[in-house]
Amino acid sequence: MAKLLKNRELLLVGAILVLIALIAWRFPPFVAPANLARVYNDTSILIILALGQMAVILTRCIDLSMAANLALSGMVAAMLNAAFPGLPIPIIILSAMALGAVLGMINGALVWKLDIPPIVVTLGTLTIYRGLIFLLTNGKWINAHQMSDAFKSFPRADLAGIPVLSWLSVVMIAAMFLVMSRTALGRAFFAVGGNPHAAVYTGIDVGRTRFFAYCLSGTLAGLSGYLWVSRYAVAYVDIAAGFELDIIAACVIGGISIAGGIGSVPGAVLGAMFLGVIKNALPVINISPFAQMAISGMVIITAVAVNARAERRKGRVILKKAEAV
Amino acid sequence: MAETHLSPRNIPDRLEGRSARLLKSWESLLLVVACLIFLGNSLASPYFLDPWNLSDATFNFTEKAMIAFAMALVIISGEIDLSVASIIALASTAMGYAVQLGFDTPALVVVGLSVGLLCGVVNGLLITGLGLPSIVVTIGTMSLFRGLSFIILGDQAFTGYPDSFAWFGQGYIWWVFSFEFTLFVVLAVIYGVVLHKTNFGRAVYAIGNNQTAALFSGIRVGRVKFTLFLLTGLMAGLASICLTSRLGSTRPSIALGWELEVVTMVVLGGVSILGGSGTIPGVVLAALIMGMVTFGFGLLNVPGIVMSIFIGLLLISVIALPILWRRARRRLAH
């Protein structure tokens, strides 16, 4: 029982349930299954992005350029569609993912080959990627009428009663779960973040692992770029501006340690869902949407404080065990 | 690798004379770059070399540079503060609110500075009191502080600042020297003296190089770091007064994205993002460079977002180039 209480994922599930119960008390229709499915669908993109950010943070790095990458890949996907309306959607999705991967590789290569601190690299590429959108478009928007119907309807298409967008995030969660727990690369992410020196001695190339983490976050950002643009049916320079902080917030709330090595796929997903529930609930319980920013700030700070205490406690337990032996 | 690996730290101090070291330093490189940009600008635009235009150009960087001085100390001590732009927004909102309540200019200044200081206290308590990582805490407070101004203002704006308040952002001390530029020079001297000539400054370097060793040598690490976050908060409050006074209005999106520009300025000035090294003259030169580049591009009608690409490239290349240069030299030496 005590162990169950200390499980961060379960605590987070509990917190989300309490949150939903509180909202239901003020506004019962919120808990209707159809509405909860809508809230999940609305959070899908954040979940996909949080999964990529998780891999990067696990290796003791950070990717501040994810939202800019999303915006650039999304803009290119929209431009492709506007220029060649006949292009099949899978090809557009693949090219958005490929572009995202390349942008992620640039981050990864700078961190790996030049040893530049990750925060500096991604601060730099954040402004560069956003600027590139402006250079590409001269600040023009791509609006709904310039996009083909297939382009816009794909994430909304109904599959067994649930939109494709939700299904995609479920597939990504499952895939990341397999990668993190069943592949050498997934375990290397944990090893590199947990103890880089030990990782080197076990034959893991730290820089290369970080490079792949950035490739992963870039690819997922590229995918989200297409999803974002097609879902909101508009593309311009500033889409998802500031969203990088929401992604990091989701990870921090999900118990992923910013110091690396600690975290889990369910944590990232639950962290994103916590933010998603808050975002969707504010308007229905009559709190101004302007309050959302301050609330997510408070949630981030609380989550860091709670996580730090949990990690410290774990450290003490290990010490005691060592003394007992 | 059989040969002894000589990193600068293993070499005893002062192998070269003082002037040789000065010549090879990051600051002299920055000085050369600054001169080249100045020259390039004056050739590219006939309007550049005019005392009043140059004076206008200083407004591009003075407010950011005030924060950059305090930020340099924070980064040298191995921490970071990403909430500065949001502190500007919150302090500006508080001043706007105070105007509605009928406060006058001196009271507004007090409000701006104390809100900045208070935000610094919040950051400092969370980071040194609870021992949380500064990057996550300040990402959180960045969202919190600006979020509070969004709650107060929504999509509205505060205007109607008293006429005497405009002096801080638009007034001149003497001839072309604005109040902001004078403040920038005075603060540069103060921060230079504090960092390079006082015990406190040495403590900041010591903490950045090895926090544990600093603690064991009797430096009150927590207290020094707390003071540094107070200072960044105070400087952000000061910058908020100048910016609000210059713009004459407050929106919750004021100074959006400035934290990146301030960090870029500090890193461009030769402060190591990993902590432990850097100088105030470097930051001053970086501020001048960034201000002149922005102003020069502005005279050539280059849009703001293209300038931000340039700033991003500058940030990455100023860190990458020395690393590549060192590698190339090592390869040549073999």
B108: domain range?
50-322
pLDDT band (50, 70, 90) for residue A323: very low
> Where along chain A do its domains lie?
33-241+257-262
Chain-chain contact of B151 with A294 (C-beta, under 8 angstroms):
yes
Query: Of B130, B132, B150, which is closest to A293 when you measure between CB atoms?
Result: B150
- CA dist., res. A108 & res. A105, Å (int): 5
Nearest to B71 by CA among B197, B231, B182, B204: B231
How many angstroms separate the most distant Cα atoms in chain B?
Answer: 74
Task: Dig out the tokens for A27 from the structure.
Answer: 């506004």
pLDDT digits (tens, 9 = 90+) for A157-193: 888 888 999 999 999 999 999 999 999 999 999 999 9
Q: Report the relative pairing of strands A162-163 and A158-159 from DSSP bridges.
A: antiparallel
- Nearest-CA residue of chain B relative to A134? B305
Residue B31 in any domain: the answer is no
Chain-chain contact of A124 with B312 (C-beta, under 8 angstroms):
yes
Is the CB of residue B43 less than 8 Å from the CB of residue B297?
no
Chain A residues whose CB is inside 8 A of the B135 CB are 62, 119, 258
B90 touching chain A per CB within 8 A: no
Residue B78 in any domain: the answer is yes
Residue B59 in any domain: the answer is yes
B269 sits in the region (left: phi over 0; alpha: psi -120 to 50; else beta) called: alpha
Residue B24 in any domain: the answer is no
Chain B residues whose CB is inside 8 A of the A306 CB are none
Compute, in degrees rounded to 10, the torsion defined by CA atoms B153, B155, B159, B165.
Answer: 60
Give the H or E element holding residue B205: helix B199-209
Compute, in degrees rounded to 10, the torsion defined by CA atoms A282, A286, A291, A293.
Answer: 20
pLDDT digits (tens, 9 = 90+) for A26-76: 888 888 888 899 999 999 999 999 999 999 999 999 999 999 999 999 999
**Does the predicted model carry a pTM greater than 0.90?**
no
Task: Dig out the tokens for A92 from the structure.
Answer: 């557009």
Give counts: helices (H), strands (E), chain B. 15, 2
B322 touching chain A per CB within 8 A: no
Chain-chain contact of B309 with A258 (C-beta, under 8 angstroms):
no
Residue B38 in any domain: the answer is no
More confident residue, A298 or A288: A298
Touching A: B residues 154-193, CB under 8 Å:
154-155
What is the DSSP annotation of B8-51?
Answer: GGGSPS-SS-HHHHHHHSHHHHHHHHHHHHHHHHHHH-TTSS-H
From B224's Cα to the closest Cα of chain A, the distance in A is 21
B304 touching chain A per CB within 8 A: no
Residue B4 in any domain: the answer is no
More confident residue, B32 or A99: A99
Give counts: helices (H), strands (E), chain A. 14, 2
Question: In CATH, what number is assigned to the domain containing residue B72?
Answer: 1.10.3470
How many angstroms separate the most distant Cα atoms in chain A?
Answer: 71
ipTM: 0.80
Main-chain phi, psi angles of A241, to 5 degrees = -65, 130
Mean pLDDT of B200-213: 94
Mean pLDDT of B221-248: 95
Is the CB of residue B200 less than 8 Å from the CB of residue B77?
no
pLDDT at B262 exceeding the cut of 70:
yes
Say how many domains are in chain B: 1
Alpha carbon separation from B277 to B8, B69, B198 (Å, rounded): 13, 14, 16
pLDDT at A99 exceeding the cut of 60:
yes
What per-residue confidence (pLDDT) applies to B208?
A: 94
Residue B40 in any domain: the answer is no
Residue B334 in any domain: the answer is no
Query: Of A127, A249, A252, which is closest to B309 when you measure between CB atoms?
Result: A127
- CA dist., res. B248 & res. B237, Å (int): 16
Compute, in degrees rounded to 10, the torsion defined by CA atoms A302, A304, A305, A308.
Answer: 160
- CA dist., res. B77 & res. B275, Å (int): 6
Query: Of B130, B148, B306, which is closest to A308 when you measure between CB atoms?
Result: B130
Chain-chain contact of B263 with A123 (C-beta, under 8 angstroms):
yes
Q: What SS3 class is residue A239?
A: coil
What per-residue confidence (pLDDT) applies to A315?
A: 47
